[in-house]
Structure 1
């Protein structure tokens, strides 16, 4: 049985100016002074943080986050708050990270707040931080860190936990439509293959069943750019559009829209497309 109490649910909150704050709490099995060392000493930071950081954080210091060539270019940030041993905050590119610690018996309650602009990327960030914070705890307790792919099942659990699996209804010049945005865990080529199955989509032809919601009677394909775009007529409402962008870099970012006919129930259409997207998302980690 785990000696630590179960952490409270991780959560998203609006942060103003179109930004989102991800808040995560973990009990680390070490006193605050040791946790502080792991937050501020570069040789310890390298044991759990997603990048090597130089120099050691000091008030107002300019930081450099070093990555391998395969991971991407280095980025920079600035220390914005530092109060040993309870608070460290700094920018990381356009994002903000805040680590607040408090004694929890012989252990430390560590609260991470990550503020960013990509709301639908939150599950990727949460899955990554989940692994980082587990590695931090392992580092300070001398346990072997268990490496888990943050882009698979863990990512999908955070999609549900953080409420990122719902769609919206929007109204534009062409009338109402439903919209889903979802970070996926595999690249666009893999997602396209899952959607197409054994069929090869052709302009003017029918869309493969994977691109349609249950019970739909789709019209012909009107736009096609594999593996990024497929649109088809949706009589009598208008069109369905599948777009696969780059997202967080962990996989493709799906944006799906479907026009609504005046007589249609938006909740029913939302539910039908949610079922289709959930089935797709459940299939991808195994591919």
Structure 2
């Protein structure tokens, strides 16, 4: 657990997980390629044929929605690669003197890098279930929450991006809230209090480098915007948005704008928002915030 790596290929995020297995390549091949065996550990049920170019159907137990894909490589007992929606998954089996090494990679779709922690955690748990199946035992129950938090902090997934605008700069952070309902996230930010235009924003929406002014717009539980100022001088706006994309994530987007004169402060502002969102994530998942890098 917690051993996944996040890399980049052609500007796309790539997850990489390796498992050293005391089993023959042939046995592991069946576990990672036969649909009836994958049903014991893979997150979706698969219908396909064992050949490159074959169509694939993915369904989740209890759900009617079907997603599609295609077998890209089928080279037993070495490589099995396929496309699932816009992602590409690849299993490679490398023989060694004690059995084999399984190398799993997933090329994530464009714009989905901030979900890598959730995805990596899922594969940690799925691969643990696969290993248990290979060893003829029941998979252990795993608490996914601290693993997600670990990857969130290790990979700086809530970290800020900074861009120039016509009026100065914009700092932007995004946080995957792991399908939490808008109402749950909003309640955590407001502590259950009503927010109206003209009021000061609740502390859950603020960080120290951005002294809050008054709320200018609010659309509970989706959006909140307020003015901010350093030392009382108007500088820009902070905007919170809660977004649900059924193909990607439910997430929080925080943007903060400011003038060129304060551009030197963007790193401190971004760091403050990152830590703030990591604390929000820990609150939503009801898990302790581990030391950074732990």
Q: Above 0.5 in TM-score?
A: yes
Give the equivalent residue in structure 2 for 1:158: 151
* Structure 1 residue runs without a partner (length 5+): 1-5
Moved >4 Å (runs of 4+): 247-251
Separation in structure 1 between the aligned mates of residue 284 and residue 90 of structure 2, nearest angstrom: 33
The structural deviation recorded for 1:62 is: 1.1
Separation in structure 1 between the aligned mates of residue 96 and residue 170 of structure 2, nearest angstrom: 49
Query: Structure 1 residues 180, 78: closer, same or farther in 2, change over 3 A?
Result: same
Are the equivalent residues in 1 in contact too, given 2:209–2:269 (CA < 8 A)? no
Are the equivalent residues in 2 in contact too, given 1:168–1:179 (CA < 8 A)? yes
- Secondary structure in 2 matching 1:108: strand
| Count of aligned pairs | 278
- Secondary structure in 2 matching 1:64: strand
Are the equivalent residues in 1 in contact too, given 2:243–2:252 (CA < 8 A)? yes
Query: Structure 1 residues 116, 275: closer, same or farther in 2, change over 3 A?
Result: closer
Counterparts of 1:89-108 in structure 2, within 5 Å, are: 89-108=81-100
Alignment match of 2:257 (pick from 256, 259, 282): 259
Are the equivalent residues in 2 in contact too, given 1:182–1:255 (CA < 8 A)? yes
Query: Structure 1 residues 285, 91: closer, same or farther in 2, change over 3 A?
Result: same
Q: Is 1:32 matched up with 2:25? A: yes
Give the equivalent residue in structure 1 for 2:218: 224
Question: How large is the RMSD of aligned CA atoms in angstroms?
Answer: 2.2
Give the equivalent residue in structure 1 for 2:59: 66
Query: Structure 1 residues 20, 251: closer, same or farther in 2, change over 3 A?
Result: closer
The structural deviation recorded for 1:250 is: 8.9
* Structure 2 residue runs without a partner (length 5+): 288-294
Are the equivalent residues in 2 in contact too, given 1:214–1:276 (CA < 8 A)? no
Q: Deviations over 1:94-117 (max 9, x none)?
A: 111110011233332111111122
The structural deviation recorded for 1:57 is: 2.8
Q: Is 1:55 matched up with 2:48? A: yes
Query: Structure 1 residues 57, 203: closer, same or farther in 2, change over 3 A?
Result: farther
Mean Cα deviation higher: 256-265 or 114-123: 256-265
Separation in structure 2 between the aligned mates of residue 135 and residue 91 of structure 1, nearest angstrom: 22
Are the equivalent residues in 2 in contact too, given 1:51–1:67 (CA < 8 A)? yes
Are the equivalent residues in 2 in contact too, given 1:204–1:222 (CA < 8 A)? yes
Normalised by the length of structure 2, the TM-score is 0.87
- Secondary structure in 1 matching 2:212: coil
Give the equivalent residue in structure 2 for 1:180: 173
Are the equivalent residues in 2 in contact too, given 1:124–1:250 (CA < 8 A)? no
Give the equivalent residue in structure 2 for 1:126: 120
Q: Deviations over 1:207-263 (max 9, x none)?
A: 111111136431111121111111111122110011111257796311111113423
Q: Is 1:82 matched up with 2:74? A: yes
Alignment match of 1:45 (pick from 38, 54, 69): 38
Separation in structure 1 between the aligned mates of residue 107 and residue 146 of structure 2, nearest angstrom: 24
Give the equivalent residue in structure 2 for 1:139: 133
Are the equivalent residues in 1 in contact too, given 2:79–2:92 (CA < 8 A)? yes
